[in-house]
Amino acid sequence: MSKPVAIDVKGLDVGYGDYVLLHDADYQVNKGDIFIIMGGSGCGKSSMLRVLTGLIPPLKGSVVINGVDIATASVAEVQKIREKSGILYQSGALFSSMTLAENIMLPMQQYTDYSPATMRELAHLKLALVGLTGFDDFYPSEISGGMKKRAGLARALALDPDIVYFDEPSAGLDPISSRNLDDLIIEINRSLGTTIVVVTHELASIFAIGTNSIFLDASTKTIMAKGAPNELLKNPPNEAVYKFLTRGEKKK
């Protein structure tokens, strides 16, 4: 039996003004998947993520998230989708003037009626889930890059989202921290059943966590391949995908 669909993208053009980065993208993200958006630098991965998260509008086509097309949805509907989504940005994007606990409590203050004490406990729990127990009252400037990403993830999980987006989670991390973050992503996906969309070009992460993926190509401005990363490596549809997945080796 096929899984229900969390994100359904049809005929999507991504770009800025007259400049189109990606044409006619069609794909689906199933609920509970760890979905990878991969491709070389400049192929439009991060812009695709910006469209999915509503930061930029699609030039054409539809993006249906949990049954609502974000291109035509009302402000209230978009707000509802945002409540049920979390995002981990490349830099963590923690608010530097707030402690980690305050960062996590911020979306709770906006969207829930919890008492301050409960919010604080929830923030403590979320930090514990990402391995940052005891860091509640630390400021972002007082922790390392890897810890910032974990704290960013804790904030992304603040409202128990259905979908969590990751923008280049491994960027700037050493291999061990990167691996630990991959493990954390898998753990959250398994234990909470959260659908996860990851934009990355880190091969180690792609093969370690991805259950499904799309490969974006800058020269054709299209989705060149779809499928599980390991499957794409076994049966690459073309040279470009094979080269990408093998760090530039030529297909024999």
Partner 1 sequence: MRKKTESNIKLERAEDNALRLSVSGDVLNYDNPEFFAELERQLAKKTKQLVLCADDLGEWDSSLLVILYESIRKAKTAGAECDLSALPQNLRDLMRLAFADDRKPTHGSSVGLPFLENLGKATLDCLQKTSNVMNFLGQICASVGRWIGFRSIMRRVDFMAVLEDCGPRAVGIVSLISFLVGLILAFVGAIQLETFGAQIYVASLVTIGMCRIMGAIMVGIIMAGRTGSSYAATIGTMQVNEELDALQTMGFSKIDFLVLPRLLALLIAMPILTMLADIMGMIGGAFVGVFMMDLPYQEYWKYAINAFNLKNFLVGVFHGFCFGIIIAVCGCYSGLNCGRNADSVGIATTQSVVRAIVWMIVATGIITVICMELGL
Interacting residues toward partner 1 by CB under 8 A: 18-19, 42, 50, 53-55, 79, 82-83, 85, 87, 89-91, 93-97, 106-107, 110-111, 155, 218-219
Closest distance of CB 2 from partner 1, Å = 29
Question: Whose Cβ is closer to partner 1: residue 85's or residue 194's?
Answer: 85
Q: How far is CA 134 from the centre of its chain?
A: 26
8 A C-beta contact, residue 185 and residue 199: no
Strands ordered across the beta sheet of 195-199: 85-88, 163-167, 195-199, 34-39, 212-217, 222-226
Q: What is the DSSP string of 32-89?
A: T-EEEEEESTTSSHHHHHHHHTTSS--SEEEEEETTEETTT--HHHHHHHHHTEEEE-
Nearer to partner 1, 192 or 218 (CB): 218
CB of 99 to partner 1, least distance (A): 12
DSSP H or E segment with residue 124: helix 116-129
* Rounded least distance, CB 140 to partner 1, Å: 9
Between residues 159 and 185, which has the closer beta carbon with respect to partner 1?
A: 159
CB of 1 to partner 1, least distance (A): 32
Residue 190 or 251 having the CB closest to partner 1: 251
Q: Which two tokens stand for residue 157?
A: 């999980």
Nearest to 223 by CA among 2, 25, 18: 25
For residues 13 and 226, which CB has a smaller minimum distance to partner 1 in the complex? 13
Least distance to partner 1, CB of residue 40, Å? 9
